[in-house]
Structure 1
Amino acid sequence: MTTSTAEKTETEEETSGGGGRLKKIAIVVVVVLLVAAAAWWFVLRPKPEKAPEPGEIVTLDSTQINLTGGHYLRLGLALQLTTDAHEVDGSKALDAAIDLFSGRTMASISQPVRRDELKAKLVHQLDESYHGEVMDVYFTEFVTQ
């Protein structure tokens, strides 16, 4: 039961040929994965959002807002726009401020912590109303009576 030398080399070539084929497939798979990873990194990777840059400040006319108990608040606003902002109509800002402050007690809006909370709510509402064109709000007048 001896095998001839020709048969041995023939079986060795078949075995090594299959191994070479697997190596080629592995190399192709690795290259495809590297190209896909590079494409994702340079093209599809999510870019970090750039923070808005402050632009023009638009000062609005003061308005009087009714509080509870016959009191009122005289409120003046200035809107900090972004550099991407277009013409901004202040009526939305005044309307949002009136809705937010109307009917509150004078004691609740006089507390600095509470006033800061209300201002943060107003900034959030204006960010939504103006689609990101208003980045901050400044109280230019805040008088209660």
Structure 2
Amino acid sequence: MPEKRVIGAQSRKIGGGQAAPAPAAPEPEAAPRRGRGRLIVVLAAVLAVVATGAFVLLRPSEPAAPVEPEPGDTVAIEPRNINLADGHYLRLGFAIELVAEVEEVATAQATDIAIALFTGRTVTEVNDPERREELKSELSERLVEAYEGEVLAVYFTDFVTQ
């Protein structure tokens, strides 16, 4: 008698009682990663925010409005005769107003600056009200510069020409 063969399910192997593992499906090709593109965009945005914050915080602030110094003591300068042109002279006395922090200054330099400014000018020039104000402003500027900000203003106390 011929042998009988039993044909069973194809998933079963002959001679073993375990099912054969299902063949693994071939892996699809790796798709390009989208995560790197997003990461670059996020990093660029974070960098832009940090740069803007640093610019705003570290930029030089607008200069504050200069603080006006408070007026202090006034120092009178003794009147002096100053030679003008054509044999005339000017008797000039003035006072300098100091800033509040300064109590006193040496007046010799102020007298010297005034003499240098007015010497040799004509009587007509120093008697003209507009020109007198210009000379007073120039004297004030020179004194502020010479005394390095200790002088606030200049006032004529004696102004006589002959």
TM-score of Structure 1 vs Structure 2, range by shorter chain? 0.7 to 0.9
Tell whether the 8 Å contact from 2:75 to 2:104 is kept in structure 1 after alignment. Answer: no
**TM-score, normalised to structure 1's length?**
0.81
Change (3 A) 1:88 1:111: same
The 1-side partners of 2:113 and 2:27 are apart by 94
Question: CA offsets, 1:51-97, max 9 Å, x none?
Answer: 32222111111111111222211111100111233531111111111
Structure 1 portions without partners, runs of 5+: none
- Following TM superposition, by how much is the alpha carbon of 1:133 offset from its aligned partner in structure 2, in angstroms? 1.0
The 2-side partners of 1:123 and 1:21 are apart by 64
Which stretch shows the higher mean deviation, 22-31 or 115-124?
Answer: 22-31
Q: Give the alignment of 1:8-47 within 5 angstroms.
A: 10-11=31-32, 14-40=33-59, 44-47=60-63
- Corresponding residue number in structure 2 for 1:135: 152
- Following TM superposition, by how much is the alpha carbon of 1:6 offset from its aligned partner in structure 2, in angstroms? 5.1
Structure 2 portions without partners, runs of 5+: 1-25
- Corresponding residue number in structure 2 for 1:78: 95
The 2-side partners of 1:39 and 1:101 are apart by 50
The 2-side partners of 1:100 and 1:16 are apart by 79
Question: CA offsets, 1:98-132, max 9 Å, x none?
Answer: 01111111111001011011111111111111111
- Following TM superposition, by how much is the alpha carbon of 1:45 offset from its aligned partner in structure 2, in angstroms? 2.0
One-letter amino acid of the structure 2 residue matched with residue 18 of structure 1: G
Q: Give the alignment of 1:85-124 within 5 angstroms.
A: 85=102, 87-124=104-141
One-letter amino acid of the structure 1 residue matched with residue 43 of structure 2: K
Over the aligned positions, Cα root-mean-square deviation in angstroms equals 2.1
One-letter amino acid of the structure 1 residue matched with residue 130 of structure 2: V
The 2-side partners of 1:81 and 1:134 are apart by 4
Q: Which has the higher contact order (CA 8 A, sep 6+)?
A: 1
**TM-score, normalised to structure 2's length?**
0.74
SS in 2 for 1:29: helix
SS in 2 for 1:62: strand
* Count, aligned residues: 136
- Following TM superposition, by how much is the alpha carbon of 1:140 offset from its aligned partner in structure 2, in angstroms? 0.5
Tell whether the 8 Å contact from 2:73 to 2:103 is kept in structure 1 after alignment. Answer: no
Change (3 A) 1:17 1:59: same
- Following TM superposition, by how much is the alpha carbon of 1:50 offset from its aligned partner in structure 2, in angstroms? 2.0
